[in-house]
């Protein structure tokens, strides 16, 4: 059984071989190793594309760059870009989270109803916002009110 390191070291050479001509040890490793199979497939595809494009051998270090672009080695440029955009949203999110935290801490027992003045609520709204279980009287009042929403 060959190691991942050996496959990666020889990937340029291996990509040049038809699949049936791969050394037995390498083939055996590829069967059990998805990462190396992907890497070799990518190197082979890259070789094929380059060969089709202008009929030359891939430049030196090409296979290394293919390997470097694989997700299990390092995050790709596109992923890094996505994270950068995500971080741009953090300040707005953090501000919202802090605001909610302050509001909830100011009213530790009353919960969400502390966010709005209770006098302004209809019986139905109070029923929804206040802690369960609902009072039978409150349920009756909400029903009599006629579905306040
Ligand atoms: Zn491997």
Following DSSP, what letter does each residue of the chain receive, concatenated?
A: ---HHHHHHTHHHHHHS-GGGS-HHHHHHHHH-HHHHHHHHHHHHHHHHHHHHHS-PPPTTHHHHHHHHSTTTS--HHHHHHHHHHHHHHHHHHHHHHHHHHHHHHSTTTGGGGGS-GGGS-HHHHHHHSPSSPPHHHHHHHHHHT---
Q: Ligand 1 centroid vs 25 CA: distance in angstroms?
A: 11
Quick one: pLDDT at residue 32? 92
In a domain, 82, yes or no: no
Structural domain of residue 19, as residue ranges?
4-69
Model confidence pTM above 0.85: no
Domain boundary among 41, 69, 97: 69
What band does 9 get if pLDDT is binned at 50, 70 and 90?
very high
Domain boundary among 69, 86, 119: 69
Report the number of distinct structural domains present in the chain: 2
Domain boundary among 48, 69, 90: 69
Residue 5 scores a pLDDT above 90: yes
Taking residues 37-51, report their average pLDDT: 82
In a domain, 91, yes or no: no
In a domain, 92, yes or no: no
What band does 66 get if pLDDT is binned at 50, 70 and 90?
confident
What band does 90 get if pLDDT is binned at 50, 70 and 90?
low
In a domain, 94, yes or no: no
Q: Ligand 1 centroid vs 14 CA: distance in angstroms?
A: 13
Residue 62 scores a pLDDT above 70: yes
Same domain for 112 and 60? no
Quick one: pLDDT at residue 54? 63
Q: Ligand 1 centroid vs 133 CA: distance in angstroms?
A: 59
């Amino acid at each position: 059984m060959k190691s991942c390191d050996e496959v990666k070291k020889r990937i340029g050479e291996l990509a040049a071989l038809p699949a049936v001509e791969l050394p037995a040890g390498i083939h055996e490793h590829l069967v059990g190793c998805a990462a190396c199979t992907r890497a070799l497939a990518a190197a082979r595809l890259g070789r094929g594309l380059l060969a089709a494009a202008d009929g030359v051998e891939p430049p030196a270090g090409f296979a290394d760059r293919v390997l470097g672009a694989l997700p299990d080695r390092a995050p790709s440029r596109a992923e890094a870009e996505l994270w950068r955009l995500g971080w741009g949203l953090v300040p707005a999110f953090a501000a919202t989270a802090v605001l909610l935290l302050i509001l909830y801490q100011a009213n530790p027992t009353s919960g969400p109803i502390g966010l709005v003045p209770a006098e302004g609520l209809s019986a139905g709204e109070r029923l929804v916002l206040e802690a369960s279980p609902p009072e039978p009287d409150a349920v009756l009042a909400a029903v009599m009110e006629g579905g306040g929403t």
